[in-house]
Amino acid sequence: MANAIVMPKAGNSVEECLLSKWRVKVGDAIKTGDIICDVETDKSAIEIEATAEGTVLALFWQEGDLVPVLQNILAVGNPGEDASTLAPAGGKAPAAAEPAPAPATAAPAPAEAATAAAAPATPVANAPLSPRAKKYVAEHPFVLPEIAGSGANGRIMEKDVADAFRSAPHLSPAAAALRADGVAAPTAGTGVSGMIRAEDMGKATPAAQTPAAPAAPAASSAPTAKADVITEKPFPQIRKIIAKRLHESLSSMAQYTLNAEADVTGLLALRQRIKDQGEALKLANINIGDMVMFAVIKTLQKHPEFNAEFADNVLRMHSAINVGFACDTPRGLMVPVLHNAQAMSLGEMAKTVKGLAKQANDGNLNPDLMAGGTFTVSNLGAFGITTFTPVISAPQVAILGVCKTILRPVRDNNGDISYRDFMQFSLTMNHMVIDGAPGARFLQTLKGIIENFELVCIAG
* Amino acid at the residue 1: M
| Strands, sheet with 72-77, edge to edge from the N-terminal-most edge strand | 3-6, 72-77, 54-59, 29-30
pLDDT at residue number 147: 78
Running DSSP on this structure, what letter comes out for residue 171?
B
For 192, phi then psi, to 5°, come to -60, 135
> Pairing between strand 332-334 and 337-338?
unpaired
8 Å CB contact between 23 and 17: no
Output the pLDDT for position 202.
Answer: 77
- Give the pLDDT score at 215: 53
CATH code for the part of the protein at 3-86: 2.40.50.100
Coil, helix or strand at residue 34: coil
Per DSSP, 189 falls in state: -
Q: Which of residues 115 and 164 earns the better pLDDT score?
A: 164
Q: Is the pLDDT of residue 418 over 60?
A: yes
Helical H segments across 119-225, by residue range: 131-139, 158-167, 173-180
pTM exceeds 0.95 for this model: no
Nearest alpha carbon to residue 439 among 449, 425, 428: 428
Q: Compute how many other C-beta atoms are within 10 angstroms of the C-beta atom of residue 452.
A: 15
Average pLDDT over residues 220-248: 76
Distance, CA of 437 to CA of 100 (rounded, Å):
77
Distances in Å between the Cα of 158 and the Cα atoms of 20, 38, 170, 407, 440 are 13, 18, 17, 53, 48
Residue type, 452: N
Answer whether residue 154 shows pLDDT above 90.
no
Phi then psi for residue 127, to 5 deg, are -65, 150
The pLDDT, as a whole number, for residue 242 is 78
- Residue 58 contacts residue 75 (beta carbons within 8 Å): yes
Q: Report phi then psi at 324, rounded to 5.
A: -90, 145
Q: What is the model's pLDDT at position 169?
A: 74
For residue 112, give the 3-state DSSP assignment: helix
Pairwise CA distance, residues 289 & 197, whole Å: 55
Q: Report the percent of the chain where pLDDT is more than 70.
A: 83
Could you tell me which residues come within 8 angstroms of residue 270 by beta carbon, excluding any fewer than 6 positions away?
291, 453, 454
The distance between the two most distant Cα atoms of the chain, rounded to a whole number of Å, is 107
Dihedral (Cα; 412, 416, 418, 421), 10-degree rounding: 10
Inter-residue contact 378 to 21 (CB < 8 Å): no
Q: State whether residue 378 is helix, strand or coil.
A: strand
Candidate ranges 17-31, 194-208, 440-454; pick with highest mean pLDDT: 440-454
Average pLDDT, the chain: 82
Q: How confident is the model over 206-232, as a mean pLDDT?
A: 62
On the 0-12 / 13-18 / 19+ scale of CB atoms within 10 A, 332 is middle
Residue 270: which H helix or E strand, with range?
Answer: helix 265-281
The more confident residue out of 3 and 212 is 3
pLDDT, tens digit, 9 for 90 and up, residues 77-131: 998 888 888 888 755 544 444 444 444 444 444 444 433 333 333 444 456 777 7
The gap between the terminal CA atoms of the chain, to the nearest Å, is 61
Reply yes or no on whether the pLDDT at 193 is more than 70: no
Using CA atoms, how far residue 201 sits from 175, 195, 320, in Å, is 7, 11, 58
Q: Domain 254-459 carries which CATH code?
A: 3.30.559.10
Assess whether pLDDT exceeds 90 at residue 210: no
Query: CA-CA distance, 160 to 156, in Å (whole number)?
Result: 6
Tens of pLDDT, residue by residue over 7-29, are 888 766 677 788 888 999 999 99
Torsional sign, CA 136, 142, 146, 148: negative
The pairing of strands 72-77 and 54-59 is: antiparallel
Active site residues: 431, 435
| Res. 445: pLDDT tops 90 | yes
Please give the pLDDT value at position 123: 42
SS3 annotation, 292-309:
HHHHHHHHHHHCHHHCEE
Contact at 8 Å (CB) between 337 and 360? no
The whole-number pLDDT of residue 180 equals 75
DSSP 8-state assignment for residue 148: -
Locate the domains of the chain by residue range: 3-86, 131-200, 254-459
